[in-house]
């Protein structure tokens, strides 16, 4: 029997437990189950949608089914079919026990409880709910458990429920029908319902009642029905039998296929196959399709709201104040870029222009430190330092403020629309991220008084906690893009040359004169020292300072010209506005659900192909349920009736 350590039950069924985790199918299934758990958690916000709820329930059922994989290596096969097809008669014939499950010709929906044939020790392990009132029949079937079920198409609904609960527990479903019931709609609906999750054997009973010349046609017609349910029936999984004449037709083949097997060897693979089937079923196309439609609807709603946001911004950006603030911010940024893209004096003047407050603050602090301390000086230095710190933040804040309260009102309206869309779709709003407050030291007082509160307020006001950080980021991007473009036009090669020409000439002239005067003074030969007067140096420095002004003016005029016609309304694109975030977050989560479900199904199908080689029965082929595949060739028993 099993190839691992185990213990024996009743009539010799070996239980395998300890090596379960070492099996290759286990290592294949574990990650799938972990992903299924993650997918179920992702479904949570969408529980008001029937397809998502159904998916979560199916995933839970898969997990429940998987819990049984550690159970002993036995396989449960059930007989599913319409009333009167001869399930009970077939059950008796398969286990070779007359009247094990009573048969009736006069009463329909006759079987009203499960009849379970198995080795005696397996009873408690099969875990059939006692309220279903199962009747156990001791039969030497090795690791196989065979169940005769009540019908699933009769007038007694309790029979359907009992049958379903047993089918849920099963690994293999033997679909039993008879010639006159082969196209029964209800039975086919039930078969489709379980198609993906189980391994299937198809049995046409009462073969003795089909005239020999019609057998082939009857079976072909049945094959067509099975193809519509997603199967590709062939001689390995389809059997033509007669329960009343067990020695004719293919009853022996059926018994070999399902009962005379070594489930100690195949049990784990069979269970892994079932788990994959459950996962396939949980991520079925019939559930994903409506979810995709929902995702498309959310995307469309998001797009409509984005348009509204875009229009609101366009309107606000067209306001004079906003345009001015934008241009100023761009100009400031262009100066910075220009300092990097020009050289020597041109770069120096541009750099001084952008670092003005840094310099003045440094100068004032220097004075405070080395000369006389004054309150006024300290205040001025602090103000300059603050301005220097906030350079780059303030202009953006100013833009945000300039966009105005009208924008805020329109964005509020969009936020309201977003909330309504979420409500209409039965979606909860995403939880606000919790505000993280840094832990205080125990001895630290909670409030330092009005001065600290004032400073707090000032920092919040001046940008330490900007209102909509996402919007500020968008504004920053727009400013940076515009500045980059403008800077590349401003800092041309020739501008650099022209701006540097005059200062270089002055510098060269002054250097030559100073050099000459120093040489003439013969300082290195110990002669009389006759250096140029101090006034000369001052004049040279003054001239140099003045000579940079034309270059500065040239750059300043070019920057002003570039910024003058900037139209922020045209260039500003809101990519992910914060007001849309609740909707966008749900849409992303839903897309993640769909993507993960598709991936899970794909991997479950692959794993199933690997584990199912050599297992009894057939599985439903993928999603193409309604595609009518070509029927398999006729059963050997049709040609050769025994
Ligand atoms: N001729 C013929 N009759 C059969 C065959 N199998 C079953 N029968 C008869 O069909 C009738 C119904 O058989 P059951 O086994 O009770 O049918 P069932 O599918 O269990 O029906 P329910 O218990 O009502 O769901 C009985 O009279 C059987 O004798 C068969 O292979 N050939
Ligand atoms: Mg019956």
Q: Quick one: CA torsion of 15, 19, 20, 22, rounded to 10 degrees? A: -160
Whole-number Å distance, alpha carbon 89 to ligand 1 midpoint, is 5
Domain segments of the chain as ranges: 6-291+593-641, 318-431+454-575
Which residues, other chains included, contact 41 with Cβ-Cβ below 8 Å and sequence gap of 6+? none
Count Cβ atoms below 10 Å from residue 115 Cβ, excluding itself: 23
Whole-number Å distance, alpha carbon 65 to ligand 2 midpoint, is 27
| pLDDT on residue 5 | 36
| pLDDT on residue 20 | 47
Which of 258, 205, 182, 38 is closest to 637 using CA atoms? 205
Q: Cα separation of 109 and 75, whole Å? A: 26
- Judge whether residue 632 has pLDDT over 60: no
Taking residues 131-155, report their average pLDDT.
93
| pLDDT on residue 69 | 55
Tens-digit pLDDT profile for residues 571-583: 777 777 788 889 9
| pLDDT on residue 556 | 93
Ligand 1 pocket test: which of 80, 84, 94 has the largest number of ligand atoms within 8 Å of its C-beta?
A: 84
- Judge whether residue 142 has pLDDT over 70: yes
pLDDT bin (cut points 50, 70, 90) of residue 634 is: very low
Higher pLDDT, 612 or 573: 612
Q: Where are the alpha helices (DSSP H) in 522-580?
A: 534-564, 568-571
Which residues, other chains included, contact 492 with Cβ-Cβ below 8 Å and sequence gap of 6+? none
**Range of lowest pLDDT (229-243, 254-268, 310-324, 620-634):** 620-634
Tokens of 518: 């120093």
| pLDDT on residue 126 | 83
Q: Decide: 110 and 88 in contact? Cβ < 8 Å.
A: yes
**Alpha-carbon distances, residue 129 vs 115, 123, 172, 275, 398 (angstroms):** 13, 11, 19, 21, 71
Q: Decide: 302 and 587 in contact? Cβ < 8 Å.
A: yes
HEC-encoded secondary structure of 291-317: HHHHHHHHHHHHHHHHHHHHHHHHHHH
Taking residues 227-252, report their average pLDDT.
91
Q: Decide: 323 and 567 in contact? Cβ < 8 Å.
A: yes
Higher pLDDT, 70 or 279: 279
Atom of ligand 1 nearest to the CA of 102: 16
The beta strands (E) that lie in 411-457 are given as none
Q: Cα separation of 261 and 127, whole Å? A: 22
Tokens of 57: 């329930």
**Range of lowest pLDDT (182-196, 268-282, 517-531):** 517-531
Higher pLDDT, 53 or 640: 53
Q: Is pTM, for the whole model, over 0.85? A: no
For residue 9, list its beta bridge partners. 13
| Mean residue pLDDT across the chain | 82
| pLDDT on residue 514 | 85
What is the CATH T-level fold of the domain 6-291+593-641, as seen in this structure? Rossmann fold (3.40.50)
What are φ and ψ of residue 487, in 5° steps? -60, -40
**Range of lowest pLDDT (11-15, 200-204, 300-304, 356-360):** 11-15
Tens-digit pLDDT profile for residues 440-476: 444 444 444 555 555 555 555 544 444 567 677 878 8
Smallest CA separation from ligand 1 atom 16, residue: 103
Q: Cα separation of 15 and 12, whole Å? A: 9
Whole-number Å distance, alpha carbon 147 to ligand 1 midpoint, is 16
Handedness of CA 163, 168, 172, 173 (dihedral sign): positive
For the chain, helix (H) and strand (E) counts, in that order, are 23, 9
- Residues with beta carbon < 5 A to ion ligand 2? 87-88, 111
User: Does ligand 1 come within 6 angstroms of the Cβ of 62?
Assistant: no
Q: Cα separation of 296 and 391, whole Å? A: 43
| pLDDT on residue 13 | 38
Atom of ligand 1 nearest to the CA of 108: 24
User: Does ligand 1 come within 6 angstroms of the Cβ of 244?
Assistant: yes
| pLDDT on residue 176 | 96
- The DSSP secondary-structure symbol of 460 reads I
Tokens of 378: 């300290």
Q: Cα separation of 126 and 118, whole Å? A: 10
Count Cβ atoms below 10 Å from residue 628 Cβ, excluding itself: 10
Which of 196, 255, 184, 174 is closest to 222 using CA atoms? 184
| pLDDT on residue 15 | 38
User: Does ligand 1 come within 6 angstroms of the Cβ of 264?
Assistant: no
Longest dimension (CA), the chain: 143
User: Does ligand 1 come within 6 angstroms of the Cβ of 84?
Assistant: yes
Tens-digit pLDDT profile for residues 503-545: 999 999 999 988 888 887 766 666 666 677 788 888 889 999 9
User: Does ligand 1 come within 6 angstroms of the Cβ of 89?
Assistant: yes
Whole-number Å distance, alpha carbon 123 to ligand 2 midpoint, is 21
Which long-range contacts link 6-9 to residues 24+ away (Cβ below 8 Å)?
6/73, 6/264, 9/72, 9/119, 9/121, 9/122, 9/125
User: How far from the centroid of its chain's Cα atoms is residue 476's Cα?
Assistant: 29
- Judge whether residue 283 has pLDDT over 50: yes
Tens-digit pLDDT profile for residues 335-354: 989 999 999 999 998 888 88
Q: Cα separation of 222 and 182, whole Å? A: 6
| pLDDT on residue 137 | 95
For residue 521, list its beta bridge partners. none
Q: Decide: 125 and 72 in contact? Cβ < 8 Å.
A: yes
Tens-digit pLDDT profile for residues 450-459: 555 555 555 5
Q: What percent of the chain has pLDDT over 90?
A: 45
Q: Cα separation of 334 and 327, whole Å? A: 10
Q: Where are the alpha helices (DSSP H) in 342-443?
A: 344-354, 356-370, 375-390, 394-402, 404-424
What are φ and ψ of residue 213, in 5° steps? -70, -15
| pLDDT on residue 1 | 32
**Alpha-carbon distances, residue 592 vs 54, 307, 308, 313, 623 (angstroms):** 17, 24, 26, 30, 21
Q: Cα separation of 603 and 283, whole Å? A: 11
| pLDDT on residue 422 | 92
Which of 241, 173, 152, 261 is closest to 618 using CA atoms? 173
| pLDDT on residue 527 | 64
| pLDDT on residue 565 | 83
Tens-digit pLDDT profile for residues 358-405: 777 777 777 777 776 777 777 877 777 776 666 655 677 778 788 877
Q: Cα separation of 149 and 164, whole Å? A: 9
Report the run of H or E that residue 76 belongs to, with start and end.
strand 75-80
Pairing of strands 6-9, 115-118: unpaired
User: How far from the centroid of its chain's Cα atoms is residue 423's Cα?
Assistant: 22
């Amino acid at each position: 029997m099993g190839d691992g350590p185990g213990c024996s039950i009743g009539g010799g069924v070996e239980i395998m437990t300890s090596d379960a985790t070492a099996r290759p199918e286990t290592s294949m299934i574990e990650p799938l189950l972990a992903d299924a758990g993650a997918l179920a958690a992702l479904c949570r916000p969408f529980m008001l949608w029937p397809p998502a709820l159904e998916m979560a329930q199916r995933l839970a059922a898969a997990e429940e089914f998987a819990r049984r994989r550690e159970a002993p290596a036995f396989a449960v096969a059930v007989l599913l079919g319409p009333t009167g097809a001869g399930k009970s008669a077939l059950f008796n014939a398969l286990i070779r026990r007359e009247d094990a499950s009573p048969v009736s010709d006069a009463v329909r929906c006759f079987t009203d409880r499960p009849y379970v044939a198995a080795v005696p020790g397996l009873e408690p392990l099969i875990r059939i709910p006692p309220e279903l009132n199962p009747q156990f029949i001791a039969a030497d079937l090795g690791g196989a458990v065979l169940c005769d079920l009540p019908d699933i198409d009769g007038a007694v609904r309790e029979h359907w429920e009992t049958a379903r609960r047993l089918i849920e527990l099963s690994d293999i479903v033997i679909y039993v029908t008879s010639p006159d019931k082969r196209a029964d709609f209800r039975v086919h609906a039930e078969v489709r319902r379980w198609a993906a999750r189980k391994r299937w054997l198809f049995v046409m009973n009462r073969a003795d009642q089909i005239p020999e010349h019609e057998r082939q046609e009857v079976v072909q017609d049945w094959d067509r029905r099975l193809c519509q349910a997603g199967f590709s029936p062939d001689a390995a999984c389809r059997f033509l039998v007669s329960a009343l004449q067990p020695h004719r037709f293919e009853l022996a083949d059926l018994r070999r296929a399902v009962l005379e097997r070594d489930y100690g060897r195949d049990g784990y693979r069979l269970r892994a196959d079932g788990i994959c089937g459950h996962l396939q079923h949980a991520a079925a196309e019939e559930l994903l399709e409506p979810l995709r439609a929902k995702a498309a609807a959310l995307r469309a709603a998001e797009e409509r709201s984005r348009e509204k946001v875009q229009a609101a911004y366009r309107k606000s950006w067209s306001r004079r104040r906003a345009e001015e603030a934008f241009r100023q911010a761009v100009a400031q940024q262009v100066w910075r870029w220009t300092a990097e893209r020009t050289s020597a004096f041109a770069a120096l003047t541009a750099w001084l222009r952008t670092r003005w407050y840094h310099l003045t603050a440094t100068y004032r602090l220097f004075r405070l430190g080395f000369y006389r301390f004054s309150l006024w000086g300290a205040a001025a230095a602090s103000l300059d330092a603050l301005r220097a710190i906030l350079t780059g933040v303030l202009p953006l804040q100013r833009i945000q403020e300039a966009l105005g309260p009208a924008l805020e009102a329109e964005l509020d309206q969009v936020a309201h629309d977003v909330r309504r869309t979420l409500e209409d779709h039965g979606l909860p709003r995403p939880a606000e991220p919790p505000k993280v407050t840094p832990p205080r030291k125990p001895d630290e007082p909670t409030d330092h008084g009005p001065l600290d509160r004032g400073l707090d307020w000032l920092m919040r006001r001046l940008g330490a906690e900007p209102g909509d950080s996402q919007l500020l980021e968008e504004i920053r991007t727009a400013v940076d893009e515009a500045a980059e473009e403008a800077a590349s036009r401003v800092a041309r090669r020739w501008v650099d040359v022209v701006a540097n020409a005059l200062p270089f000439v002055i510098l060269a002239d002054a250097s030559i004169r100073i050099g000459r005067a120093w040489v003439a003074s013969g300082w290195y030969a110990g002669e009389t020292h006759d250096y140029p007067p101090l006034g000369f140096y001052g004049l040279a420095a003054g001239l140099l300072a003045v000579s940079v002004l034309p270059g500065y003016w040239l750059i300043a005029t070019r920057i002003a010209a570039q910024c003058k016609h900037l139209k922020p309304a045209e260039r500003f694109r809101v990519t992910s506005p914060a007001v849309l975030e609740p909707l966008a977050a749900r849409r992303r989560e839903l897309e993640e659900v769909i993507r993960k479900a598709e991936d899970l199904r794909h991997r479950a199908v692959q794993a199933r192909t690997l584990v199912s080689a050599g297992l009894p029965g057939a599985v439903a082929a993928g999603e193409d349920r309604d595609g009518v595949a070509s029927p398999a060739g006729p059963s050997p028993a049709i040609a050769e009736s025994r």
